Structure 1
């Protein structure tokens, strides 16, 4: 049977000092939005922010050696992670040495992730010389503590995390149950509907002001109008788009209001949403689960589909007739960009780097397919500014540019900028790699030096404590020297972290520039442009009216060699027109 140590562990020897306190309070709302945030907060009135702060201030009155520096609060924020505005502001003040004591009502207010919470309480705060107090749990990191105390701290953090996990699962299952009962669990109701609570369920009811507009949209599409034409008709009638209607509550433009054009995407969303034929489809995306913050799509078999839970605005026959027209149009003519199933589109090599020089919007690609008598189809590509097709005040004067014209301008600019025939690119690559490795080695050596100084500092701290314990140093001398030693260790840790970040950034930059040079060596006027070449060599392309193009390259030639002794290099590219 293993032996159990009976020796009592002790924390740092309590010192007579004045603490500058940061009070932290947090309140999350356990419950769904359907119940209303106000009711959820009322149900937890005893856990309010003010109650937590008041309890901490009362504790400070009983401890004159403590002085309040500031209060940090997070309202409606989960405790399962530490990405909270109030908490991050508190940690900034900790790093600035503005506070050296943190007080919370209990551990659950600090956080519900037992690994991260334990890391802060047992590692980060002690390293930074910060005292941590959880009032309701009786935890004070500057008090004497035993093995049982350490175990209790870890157990409480684990229980808090299990509680958060359980609450997340209950919220999810409760939401699924309400969906199966036909209750609307979304936020803003679909355009054409309003949401009201009836018999304990949130129901969708036809909105008298907007439901007729939805029916008109279906009618216009069935009559042969495309989505752009429908958007134009709605603009002519002075109808606000759904986003503006949500903000103002006005269906039609009022005096002094700006009328913005509907987008074709919004019209398409209305024409393809089954809610308008009386089928409530929910649970399409998921993400608000414990420790899952990225929203993701759900398999179609897991959707919640409820028929007859609300009044349809169009019949099923009308909805499926519209769906059939969409399918037929996509198969024959392609989608809004001209891409049909018969002729798949080529890769868009300018995606993400091509912008309208007049309004700054990303340019969209469009294609026109020509079919010859032999049955062979040829696709011609071009780019246009989406805002050029608007009717409202946001209309852009820019028009379009053909892909063949754009390719020619980019190739000419590449040839003029880099003139590779005179640069001996092979030698340039070797020289760049040599200088880059020299800069990396300097940083590595400095990181090693910082590590050695940290080890020496920790050893020095132990020696100071022994001298104080033996009586060689007075309490005042020990406090002063320990404070200075902690400051040096903190600065050294920060410096080491900064150097590591710089080294990581340099590794990424070396990879980018190496790829840049390899692609550059292949480039001439006869080179076929690819997405890899464009995205490596070019940072941004702005297209202006009249086929005037401005190209911003990822690097200019004098940036490809390190001239800064600190290993820094410029990131502003050279521009060509």
Structure 2
């Protein structure tokens, strides 16, 4: 999104601004912690519209931004305790490409609430990229801190933002725990239920899907298997829980490829919420929307009876569980690589392995869907390897050729002239700064009139700006060269992991082949596609036969 700021001195400042930068950016963010679940946004000053208003007023009152398009990056409802936010990362990428040279935020807490991360961006990343940062309400402009840190005030302010976020997360979780203890609903609505009109924390039966849930329980009690139930539901075209959810949210975007499986049916049969019980606090995290969650011991679960209308009785739930064949799972071991790389080329499901005179691979989709294309997939391991091994040997030859190319490129030591080039520019900048002082002293002593002083000062400012741009360009080229050298050395190390296989044969060669395979797509028309783990080693080298058929 772009908007314009206007002003009287537009042409003068616009010309000066465009000599420094491309489009400035405005970053706006709200987080889940900013919201009160019952009343919406707890602090309206943090809303996207308010942040936009503050930034727009700022640029309108600063002539250097006159008639310059401001590019917006918005993360709505994302936590500030880490920087893993789509629009924030998109803004950083734009800065790396040189498309953004100035970022404006309402305050520094919009960047994030982890003061170490924010400090790293303010003091290291943005200065390296040549990006100016303005936090309107904090009165912060990185242009005023060139060559030094933002001081204790900025560091303390960021520290307080992080503590505020942590305190707010604790308060929000406390409110959620209170609702859990009352038996209120705080998670996703399970299939068969919907939110009650007027009370989003209460579940009521969904007239469209509740009968399906009851039917599943009755079918298992009558002796049908979970696979049989899944196949019947697919034959009738009943939407899966995920497809039904997509249908309700966006009817035009319904994914009709989703199928019922015995796992989908089993998950419904194991959900005790269908008996009117509310089970909460089975997982927890350090703060809101933290991706790293841990399982909570069962004795710490919050279980409340009779919180909503049951779809099945406790007796029916127990009877259904008694009919489920419980298989004692052996101690989990990592399966061999040859059992994990084969996938159906039609539906994407991992192929099931079966044993006979040979090991065979087939797709389970045929168990849940009539006349599935996948039903024609049945390959023996011997036949698959007979196709794959010659292709692997050809790939090893290409890897050898790639290794020779890298060897001819040499070790690629960094350009030793970089420090000298940067030092020369720094000395010239220092000379310009000294010249500015001399002009000022001459003006103060009356040896230079005001017009000449302003003209010389402006010329030196433009020269310094140009030199700083050259310095930034050199640093970027220096970093690009380092990155290229590191990538080349990394490719050499990775190649060495595979080239040893050129001296192998028999079972050892086959084993190394499976270690080098990312996945194999198997199709019903006796066609396979192999994706290798080392494909990136050929990036940009003109090798097109990386997928073998």
Q: TM-score range by the shorter chain?
A: 0.7 to 0.9
Greater helix content: 2
2:243 is equivalent to residue 244 of structure 1:
yes
Q: How many residues align?
A: 514
Distance in 2 separating the partners of 1:516 and 1:363: 25
Is the partner of 2:291 in helix, strand or coil? coil
Q: Which runs of 5+ in 2 are unaligned?
A: 1-12, 441-452
**Residue 309 of structure 1, aligned match among 307, 310, 333:** 307
- 1:402–1:208 CA distance, 2 compared to 1 (3 A): same
Q: CA-to-partner distance for each residue in 1:16-62, whole Å, 9 max, x for gaps?
A: 994468362524144498926xx323x43333333333333333443
CA distance in structure 2 between the partners assigned to 1:484 and 1:257 by the alignment: 54
Give the alignment partner of residue 335 of structure 2, picking from 344, 347, 355.
347
Deviations 1:218-253 (A, max 9, x none): 221222222221012223444322233324459xx9
User: Residues 127 and 403 of structure 1: is their aligned pair in 2 closer, same or farther, counting only changes over 3 Å?
Assistant: closer
Counterpart residue number, 2:26: 24
CA distance in 2, matches of 1:568, 1:237: 49
1:441 is matched with 411
Question: Alpha carbons of 1:484 and 1:522: their partners in 2 closer, same or farther (altered >3 Å)?
Answer: same
Q: Is the Cα–Cα contact under 8 Å of residues 22 and 90 in structure 1 kept in the other structure?
A: no
1:93 Cα offset (Å) = 5.7
TM-score relative to the length of structure 2: 0.77
1:159 corresponding residue in structure 2: 160
Partner residue in 2 for 1:398: 376
Structure 2 match to 1:192 = 192
Map 1:365-444 to 2 at 5 A.
Answer: 365-367=352-354, 381-391=359-369, 395-396=373-374, 398-411=376-389, 413-414=391-392, 417=394, 436=406, 439=409, 441-442=411-412, 444=413
Counterpart for residue 118 of structure 2: 117
Which position in structure 2 is the counterpart of 1:498? 480
1:543 maps to which residue? 522
Distance 1:154 1:204, change over 3 A: same
The CA distance in 1 between the partners of 2:419 and 2:290, in whole Å, is 36
In 2, Cα distance between equivalents of 1:53 and 1:84 = 19
Q: Distance in 1 between matches of 2:158 and 2:491?
A: 41
Aligned equivalents of 1:88, 1:345: Cα separation in 2: 38
Q: Aligned in 2, Cα 1:477/1:18: closer, same or farther, shift over 3 Å?
A: closer
1:51-93 deviations in Å (ceiling 9; x for gaps): 3333333334433343243142423333333444544555556
Matches of 1:548 and 1:23, distance apart in 2: 50
Instruction: Work out whether 1:478 is the aligned partner of 2:446.
Output: no
Q: CA deviation at 1:396?
A: 3.4
For 2:238 and 2:130, the matched residues in 1 are separated by 62
Contact 1:361 1:385 in 2 (8 A): no
Closer, same or farther: CA 574–27 of 1 in aligned 2, 3 Å: closer
Asked whether the equivalents of residues 382 and 401 of structure 1 are also in contact (C-alpha less than 8 Å), the reply is: yes
Structure 2 partner of 1:6? none
Deviation, structure 1 residue 494 = 2.0
Q: Is the 8 A contact 2:246 2:255 kept in 1?
A: no
Residue 425 of structure 2 is aligned to residue 457 of structure 1: yes
Structure 1 residues 551 and 87: alpha-carbon distance in aligned structure 2, compared to 1, 3 A threshold: closer
Structure 2 contact 33–165 (Cα < 8 Å) conserved: no
Q: Distance in 2 between matches of 1:404 and 1:93?
A: 50
For normalisation by structure 1, the TM-score amounts to 0.74
CA contact (8 A) 1:276 1:313 kept: yes
Query: Is the counterpart of residue 278 in structure 1 residue 276 in structure 2?
Result: yes
The 1-side partners of 2:423 and 2:64 are apart by 33
Distance 2:425 2:299 in 1: 60
Match of 2:344 in 1: 356
The alpha-carbon distance between structure 1 residues 408 and 89, as it changes in their structure 2 partners (threshold 3 A), is closer
